Structure 1
Amino acid sequence: MGYDISFHPVNMRLVEERVVPFLAARGGDDDLDDLIADAVRQAKVRFRANAWGLGTMKAYGREGFDSGLFIWGRPFFVTAEDPATVAETVVRYCDSHLDEVDDLARGQIALLDPTLAKYVEPDMNGTLPDDHLLAKGFRWKLDLLREAASAIRAGRTTIRNGDGDEISAASALTGNAHFVLIEFLAALLPGWIERGRVWPTELAEQAATEGNPPLSDNSALFGSLPTEFPSLDWPSNWTIPSNYAIGGYAAPSNIHPLRTWLSRNLDDLTAVGDQWDDRPYVSKALRKLDEALALAELTGSAFVEAAEIYIPGMGTIN
């Protein structure tokens, strides 16, 4: 199976102060309601922005329109050139309301071609679920892991999943916490989409780089969970081990050093593409990686690499 890869800024304040306590069955069941509501708002913003991207591709023509960057790459619809401006534009989308998206998108069209905007209409094929179903989609996995933690605290070994099957509470919590956490946080601060074996720890292994990248295992994403449940085994990864997994992690303090390492080793990392006869593809993946790191740096976030958070072929994009 191939890999649908993504590069994610991660708001560690939300991890440590909001989401992990919820997963640990602390506080109330409605403690994440405000974040769920924000995820619903952003889903509608994302849908409208992507519609503008698809409409622009139709008007512009595929020749010269980089759909792998503008639609199935960057979040929302962003055509700016430099990473800092890309990151700032993503933040503007994240903070916008639905009625502000059209002006934002038209501004991105103008960066491609100032004369093009009057010919573009958003491609509104497809529909979003209503707000209730969107909210349910964002929270059901969080609720399931919270139920698992509550069961463990009560001395129960199993819970029932959404299909009514009885499953191990401990395995549900420890085996899914990383993925569920990043999947949810990506609805609040999105990542970049790529495909194939082009995540940074993989490229670093294949390339003759100057020093190792400042990436570590992703145990920090568990927050207080290992302390709250010390009898459980909490596996962590330093790279992506399989599909539907979270890989290497960089703390907020390591984002600038990671960007510096990336810049210093760009030629060697890009040369990995020679092994796959696809050097330009790796070059674009590294561009997306640096843009994601620029957003992490702008927002004071951490960074992780992941697989199958987004699956464009199944309609889940950023």
Structure 2
Amino acid sequence: MGYDISFHPIDQRLVEERLTPFLAGRGSAGDLDDLVADAVRQAQVRFRANAWGLGARKVCAGTDFDSFLYLWGRPFFVTAETPEDVAETVLRYTRAEVGEVDALARTQLALLDRTLPDRVEPDLSGALPTAEHLATGFRWKLDLLREAATAVRAGREHIRNADGATIQAADALTGNAQFVLVEFLAALLPGWIERGRVWPTELAESAETDGYAPLGGNDALLGVLPAEFPTLTWESNWTIPTNYAIGGYAAPGEVRPLRDWLARNAEPLAAVGDQWNDRAAVRLVLRKIDEALALAELTGAGFAEAAEIYLPMRGTVN
């Protein structure tokens, strides 16, 4: 199976102070309601921004409009050039209301061609679920893992999955916590999309670089869970081991060193592109990674690589 890869800023403080305590069963069931509401708002903003990107692709057919950067690469619809400008624009989208999206998108169109804002209309051929359905989609996995944690505390071995099947409570919690957390975090601070075996630790393993990339195990994503459930076995990946998994992680303090390492080793990392006979494609990957890191740096976040958080072929995008 192929890999739908993504590169994610990780709000580590949110992991430690709110999300993993919730999964552990602390507080009340409504403690994440504000975050879920924010995820719904951003989904609505994302839908409108993506509609502008799709409209631009139609008007720009036959030009050098880069769909794999503007539509299936960066979050929302961003055409800025520098990583810092890209990061600042993405952050503006994350804080915008739906009614503010059109002005933001037109600004991005004008960066490509000052005539585009007068020629492009948003492509609204798709449909967005209701706010209620979006909210359910964002939180049901978190609620399920919270139920699993409650069962483990009570000594119950099994819980019911969303489809009614009986599953092991402990396995559900330890086997899914990191993926579910990154998936939810991506609804609040989005990642970048790519395709294939091009995540940072995979490239680093295959290239002759000036040392190891400042990425390590992702146990930090577990937050308070290991301390709350010390008898459970918690795994930590340093790279993406399989589909639907979280790979290497860089703490907030390692984001700038990771950006510097990528810049120093851009050529040997791009040379790994010979596996696909396309160094230019890997250079685009490195650009996306650096832009995600720029957003992490701007927001004081960490960074993680992941597989199948987004599934563009199924309409799940950033």
Q: Same fold (TM over 0.5)?
A: yes
* Equivalent residue number for residue 161 of structure 1: 161
Q: Provide the C-alpha distance between the structure 2 equivalents of 1:12 and 1:224, rounded to a whole number of angstroms.
A: 12
Letter in 2 for 1:110: A
* Equivalent residue number for residue 35 of structure 2: 35
* Equivalent residue number for residue 71 of structure 1: 71
* Equivalent residue number for residue 57 of structure 1: 57
Shift of 1:52: 0.2
Instruction: Render the CA deviation track for 1:202-232: whole Å, top value 9, x for unaligned.
Output: 0000000001011000000001101110111
Letter in 1 for 2:42: Q
Shift of 1:196: 0.3
Q: Provide the C-alpha distance between the structure 2 equivalents of 1:63 and 1:169, rounded to a whole number of angstroms.
A: 53
TM-score, structure 2 normalization: 0.99
* Equivalent residue number for residue 199 of structure 1: 199
Instruction: Render the CA deviation track for 1:3-27: whole Å, top value 9, x for unaligned.
Output: 0000000001110011001100110
* Equivalent residue number for residue 211 of structure 2: 211
Shift of 1:172: 0.3
* Equivalent residue number for residue 181 of structure 1: 181
* Equivalent residue number for residue 236 of structure 2: 236
Instruction: Render the CA deviation track for 1:123-171: whole Å, top value 9, x for unaligned.
Output: 0011111111000000000000000000111111100001111100000
Could you say what secondary structure the match of 2:210 adopts? coil
1:103-182 equivalences in 2 (<5 Å): 103-182=103-182
Unpaired runs of at least 5, structure 1: none
Letter in 1 for 2:249: Y
Unpaired runs of at least 5, structure 2: none
Instruction: Render the CA deviation track for 1:174-194: whole Å, top value 9, x for unaligned.
Output: 000000000000000000000
Letter in 1 for 2:114: P
Q: Provide the C-alpha distance between the structure 1 equivalents of 2:263 and 2:184, rounded to a whole number of angstroms.
A: 30
* Equivalent residue number for residue 247 of structure 1: 247
Of all paired residues, the percent bearing the same amino acid is 69
Letter in 2 for 1:310: Y
Shift of 1:62: 4.2
Shift of 1:117: 1.0
Shift of 1:278: 1.3
Letter in 2 for 1:167: I
Q: Provide the C-alpha distance between the structure 1 equivalents of 2:44 and 2:8, rounded to a whole number of angstroms.
A: 20
Say what the alpha-carbon RMSD is for the aligned residues: 0.6
Q: Provide the C-alpha distance between the structure 2 equivalents of 1:12 and 1:62, rounded to a whole number of angstroms.
A: 42
* Equivalent residue number for residue 47 of structure 1: 47
Letter in 1 for 2:159: I
Q: Provide the C-alpha distance between the structure 2 equivalents of 1:42 and 1:116, rounded to a whole number of angstroms.
A: 25
Q: In the alignment, is residue 314 of structure 1 matched against residue 311 of structure 2?
A: no
Letter in 1 for 2:174: T
TM-score, structure 1 normalization: 0.99
Q: Provide the C-alpha distance between the structure 1 equivalents of 2:63 and 2:194, rounded to a whole number of angstroms.
A: 20
Shift of 1:34: 0.1
Letter in 1 for 2:256: H
Q: Provide the C-alpha distance between the structure 2 equivalents of 1:62 and 1:143, rounded to a whole number of angstroms.
A: 47
* Equivalent residue number for residue 271 of structure 1: 271
Q: Provide the C-alpha distance between the structure 1 equivalents of 2:83 and 2:181, rounded to a whole number of angstroms.
A: 26
Moved over 6 A (4+): none
Instruction: Render the CA deviation track for 1:70-107: whole Å, top value 9, x for unaligned.
Output: 00000000000000000000000000000000000000
Could you say what secondary structure the match of 1:175 adopts? helix
Q: Provide the C-alpha distance between the structure 2 equivalents of 1:274 and 1:234, rounded to a whole number of angstroms.
A: 36
